[in-house]
Amino acid sequence: MVDYTKRPNNGSPSTGSVSLSKVTLTKSEPTVSLRKQGATLSGQMRVNLNWNTRPAGAPAGGGFFKRMAQAPSSAIDLDLGCLYELTDGTKGVVQALGNAFASRNRGTPIISLDGDDRTGSSTDGENLRIDLSRLAEIRRILVFAFIYEGTVNWAGANGVVTLHPDGAPIEVRLDESNPQSRTCAIAMLENTGGDLSVRREVRYINGSQSALDRAYGWGLNWSPGKK
């Protein structure tokens, strides 16, 4: 693995340089601290889902969220979202369903979703953005993915979620699957006294977002939504 380090402007190696090597969370090592990884808890952290749906034997290439090409029935509209809880007790969801593209809090949104990629043509995929400069207002955030329509095929998708703080990228691979579940809890982010911990979940939920809510005890009131 290549280890990139921060260097001063004169190009000479810095003393106590910070490793920018990618961190992969696994079952045996499921949790990481942003501060201990040398991340600066300021600015926006981007959470991206790389969804590779190129079928076996197809030509290489294409961007994020490419639709399944074997048959129309296998085309997937997959959404990235999160449940959030703030330190003042505010709770909610950020997702494309119901046009809930931003957290509801005082001031500018702490969490926002760039948009909804319905076609699979976006090279940037779908991205959540979290304002880490307001970490003191965050209690916990649960990042999830939901198959809005199409055939459930987690195993064939080779999904990877990557968090991009100001420091080493943190990767969570969806290396388990459940063909009966349309919802996957991917990672839990928690404020741990001025630090932010990231814990791998990769937990498949039988049901929609309301079932995810019950599994993690969020306590929101849900009603049917559409895009």
Give the model confidence (pLDDT) of 113-134 as tens digits. Answer: 996 544 444 556 789 999 999 9
pLDDT exceeds 80 at position 1: no
Q: In whole angstroms, how far apart are CA 76 and each of 3, 20, 68, 100, 125?
A: 36, 33, 7, 21, 14
Report yes or no: 145 and 184 within 8 Å, Cβ to Cβ.
yes
More confident residue, 57 or 144: 144
Report yes or no: 78 and 174 within 8 Å, Cβ to Cβ.
no
Q: In whole angstroms, how far apart are CA 197 and each of 19, 121, 127, 207?
A: 18, 32, 19, 27
Domains, the chain, with CATH or none:
39-216 (2.60.60.30)
pLDDT at residue number 13: 37
Report yes or no: 49 and 159 within 8 Å, Cβ to Cβ.
yes
The residue behind tokens 């976006």 is 122
pLDDT band of 155, cuts 50, 70, 90: confident
pLDDT band of 150, cuts 50, 70, 90: low
Give the model confidence (pLDDT) of 177-219 as tens digits. Answer: 898 899 999 999 999 999 999 999 999 999 999 999 999 999 9
Give the model confidence (pLDDT) of 69-105 as tens digits. Answer: 334 445 566 789 999 999 999 999 999 888 899 999 9
Burial per residue of 92-116, b for 16 or more beta-carbon CB atoms within 10 angstroms, e otherwise: bbbbbbeeebebebeeebbbbbbeb
Separation CA 127–CA 104 (nearest Å): 18
pLDDT band of 106, cuts 50, 70, 90: very high
What predicted TM-score, i.e. pTM, was given to this entire model? 0.81
73 by Cβ neighbours in 10 Å (0-12 / 13-18 / 19+) ranks as: exposed
Find the mean pLDDT for residues 144-166: 83
Give the chain's length: 227
Tally Cβ neighbours within 10 Å of residue 65.
Answer: 25
pLDDT exceeds 70 at position 138: yes
pLDDT band of 158, cuts 50, 70, 90: confident
Q: What is the DSSP letter of 137?
A: G
DSSP 19-85: B---EEE-SSS-EEETTTTT-B--SEEEEEEE---PPTTSPS---TTPPP-S-GGG--EEEEEEEEE
Give the model confidence (pLDDT) of 7-34 as tens digits. Answer: 333 333 333 344 568 999 999 999 999 9
pLDDT at residue number 156: 73
Token output for 69: 């090409």
pLDDT at residue number 62: 41
Report yes or no: 67 and 53 within 8 Å, Cβ to Cβ.
yes
pLDDT at residue number 121: 45
Query: Identity (one letter) of the amino acid at 161?
Result: V
